[in-house]
Structure 1
Amino acid sequence: MSTPPQPSGTPTPDTPDKTVGPSEAAAPALTPGRESLHYAVRNPKLLIGLAIVLILLGTGVLGPLFLDSSDPNAYVGPQAAAPDGTYWLGTTTFGQDIYAQFVYGLRSTFLVGVIGGGIAAIVAMLVGFLAGYRGGIVDEILTMLTNIVLVIPSLAVLLIANAYLGVRSVGVQGLFIGLTSWPWAARAIRAQTFSLRSREFVDLARLSGSRTWRIIFREIAPNMSSYLFMTFILLFGGSILIASSLDFIGLGPTEGVSLGLMLQSAQQWSALQLGMWWWFVPPGIGITAVVGALYVANVGLDEVFNPKLRES
């Protein structure tokens, strides 16, 4: 004969009674924020990716303060000198300090990522939230606009725009990248918003007379904060890759320096053929490290916010 079901907490004949110690009984449950922080500080992917990004960011922000010249393109040393104690990353064929170009290039790389990723994230959130929450004709119009921008070859548009701009800067480059790289994020945010708009807390806010944007930013957006943050990281890294591609083909900023422009100069002046590895290896490693660390950190964040992916 099977054992009849017992009330919750009552031991069955097959299950020995378990005595709960005072420490276990008194242990408070973690709030969602504290729980995320608890797993974040124990996630190696997040910690390693964040550490690499912070080190490179600190190098780009603080590095120029320790340089003798404020012009990274100044001719300051012997031509084509290998790395030594004076010029840590050597010099170009024109006597330019590659370390100075590298630290200024890191600053430009992060700046274009922030501008391009930030603009793309803002546009994606506005379009995705409004389309997903309002639905109907508003959703159809915004979805059609998103699909149009999505099928347009963004790289070709950027090539044409940059080719005909008289003066190109990091800000203008980031603006164009942001205005062409938001559609996929808008579609994802729309889908998430569409699933949240029928929840009880949204219905209560709607019945209380709250306006559309108040409901979106006070009720829906906080429940998607982790997803929105990870989306921004992906847009940030994507903007850096697009900007580096434009720089490498000679359509980067006309003034200043970036890691992509360093690669373009090294290729243009045959650094590989001349054996000047110190000219093209540092910017290549810099771009790879920044973007790679961002994506590793994003994977770590996904494991932190998604209980199904946590290892412990």
Structure 2
Amino acid sequence: MSAEVVMATEPLGRRNEHLYFALRNPKVAVGMSIVLLFLLVGLIGPFFMSDNPMEYVGPKSQAPNGEYWLGTTYFGQDVWVQFVHGLRSSYLVGALGGGIAFVIGLTVGFTAGYRGGLVDELLNMITNVVLVLPALAVLIVISSYLEVRGVVTQAIIIGAFSWPWVARAVRAQTFTLRNRDYVDLARLTGKRAPQIIVREIMPNMASYLLMSMILLFGGAILFAAMLDFIGLGPTNAVSLGTMMQQSMAWSSLHLGAWWWFVPPGLAITAIVGALYITNVGLDEVFNPKLREM
């Protein structure tokens, strides 16, 4: 068998091996099942209910029953409708915020690690500046000055301050990979830096990049929930965090209206916890020493 065929089949073999162990790993299976279940509810649910989650539809503070699955708010709004729309908003913030941070972190990390020299020093300085900023305080200040806050705006703000740790980790790994034989061979064949990074270096970091994206996704959801809970969430949408903020603002705990704040709180906990469990399971899949045979 020729060397070219061997090199082509090895990555495919590794992918099949990782997929095999991922399907067998209970942490990955349970974690992804929870995440996908909530995702499906958030995506499909709004098509079968009111487009306005703030609509007054029933009696005030109605406990859960056959008509109102999660009861109603202090104002007579359907908590189930708000919950489903809130899931969609929270997932959107997580995907956009995490995605923005992921792209920025990869761009800065790969560029700094591969180029080195003055470029590395400049990008490393920018990364350190953003890293030492009190991210939550900055997010609070920026959000408080925006009169109209939407889900997309919130995601952009979160993503702009969540990338430094990814950039530093990618930079460090790129430093160790840029002088490998296969990278030197790619340079000799005339490939440009972006091609070498995408085709030679990035595939060797695929497992770490996947787990980083999962952590960024969960982190963005948590960041958004914190901003929502202190009253700096979207002004034109409902999210899981804003549901909890509204329930606390109108003393649902003291009134015994547990159905207003327990579902969004449990959903945030379950989603972020499931992402963490999935990440631990993937670490076992990609690291042969941790696999449970």
* Normalised TM-score (structure 2): 0.95
The residue identity in structure 2 corresponding to 1:49 is G
Q: How far apart in 2 are the matches of 1:166 and 1:261?
A: 16
Q: How far apart in 1 are the matches of 2:15 and 2:198?
A: 19
Among 109, 126, 142, the residue aligned to 1:145: 126
Q: How far apart in 2 are the matches of 1:222 and 1:231?
A: 14
**Could you say what secondary structure the match of 2:24 adopts?**
coil
Among 294, 299, 307, the residue aligned to 2:280: 299
Q: How far apart in 1 are the matches of 2:141 and 2:52?
A: 29
**Deviation at 1:164?**
0.6
Q: How far apart in 2 are the matches of 1:303 and 1:47?
A: 13
Is 1:77 the equivalent of 2:37?
Answer: no
User: What residue in structure 2 maps to residue 281 of structure 1?
Assistant: 262
**Deviation at 1:200?**
0.6
User: What residue in structure 2 maps to residue 155 of structure 1?
Assistant: 136
- Higher radius of gyration, 1 or 2: 1
**Deviation at 1:38?**
1.1
**Deviation at 1:259?**
0.3
Q: How far apart in 2 are the matches of 1:134 and 1:306?
A: 29
The residue identity in structure 2 corresponding to 1:64 is P
The residue identity in structure 2 corresponding to 1:121 is F
Q: How far apart in 1 are the matches of 2:129 and 2:16?
A: 42
Q: How far apart in 1 are the matches of 2:58 and 2:237?
A: 19
**Deviation at 1:37?**
1.1
Among 65, 79, 88, the residue aligned to 2:47: 65
Q: How far apart in 2 are the matches of 1:31 and 1:208?
A: 26
Structure 1 consecutive aligned stretches of length 4 or more whose deviation exceeds 2 Å: none
User: What residue in structure 1 maps to residue 26 of structure 2?
Assistant: 44
User: What residue in structure 1 maps to residue 180 of structure 2?
Assistant: 199
Identity score, percent: 63
Is 1:104 the equivalent of 2:80?
Answer: no
User: What residue in structure 2 maps to residue 26 of structure 1?
Assistant: none
* Normalised TM-score (structure 1): 0.89
User: What residue in structure 1 maps to residue 192 of structure 2?
Assistant: 211
Q: How far apart in 2 are the matches of 1:215 and 1:43?
A: 33
The residue identity in structure 2 corresponding to 1:158 is L
Q: Once superposed, what is the RMSD of the aligned Cα atoms?
A: 0.8
What are the superposed Cα offsets for residues 132-167 of structure 1, whole Å, 9 maximum, x if unpaired?
A: 111111111111110000001111111111111121
Q: How far apart in 1 are the matches of 2:14 and 2:253?
A: 52
**Could you say what secondary structure the match of 1:31 adopts?**
helix
User: What residue in structure 1 maps to residue 225 of structure 2?
Assistant: 244
Is 1:122 the equivalent of 2:103?
Answer: yes
Q: How far apart in 2 are the matches of 1:213 and 1:153?
A: 33
Q: How far apart in 2 are the matches of 1:109 and 1:32?
A: 34
Among 142, 145, 157, the residue aligned to 1:176: 157
**Deviation at 1:243?**
0.3
| Number of residue pairs matched by the alignment | 282
Q: How far apart in 1 are the matches of 2:189 and 2:287?
A: 32
What are the superposed Cα offsets for residues 212-261 of structure 1, whole Å, 9 maximum, x if unpaired?
A: 11111111011111111110100000000000000000000001100000
What are the superposed Cα offsets for residues 24-79 of structure 1, whole Å, 9 maximum, x if unpaired?
A: xxxxxx91111111101100000000000000000000111121x21001000110
